[in-house]
Amino acid sequence: MVQLVPTRVTYRFACDCSYTSEVWALGKATKTSGFWRAEAGRLELYRPNGKVSWVYRVAGEELILEEVPGKQFLFARKALGDCP
């Protein structure tokens, strides 16, 4: 059995609590959009097919998401928005 993992994932979080994601795997992009909420150390993404929730923390310019204990995903900040 071979596990296929994305080769690139991009999240864009907007000031109005909307987000878009783009996941590249096998040369194909899948885009999703919805709304996000961060509260009490959890980041929740609400999308058309349900909700995803991760424990998160920010370390410098990096967003660290923990799917399950011991399985973390590291995202580097590419741009900083100017939210009021």
Write the CATH number for 15.
Answer: 2.40.128.280
Closest CA to 24 of 4, 43, 9, 41: 9
In a domain, 65, yes or no: yes
**What number is the average pLDDT over the span 7-33?**
89
The answer to whether the predicted template modeling score (pTM) of the entire model surpasses 0.85 is no
Q: Where are the beta strands (DSSP E) in the chain?
A: 8-13, 18-25, 28-39, 42-47, 50-59, 62-68, 71-76
In a domain, 50, yes or no: yes
State the total domains in the chain: 1
Distance between CA atoms of 77 and 41, rounded to whole angstroms?
18
In a domain, 17, yes or no: yes
In a domain, 81, yes or no: no
In a domain, 83, yes or no: no
In a domain, 82, yes or no: no
pLDDT digits (tens, 9 = 90+) for 28-72: 888 999 999 999 999 999 998 999 999 999 998 899 999 888 888
Q: Which domain covers residue 54, as residue numbers?
A: 8-76
In a domain, 1, yes or no: no
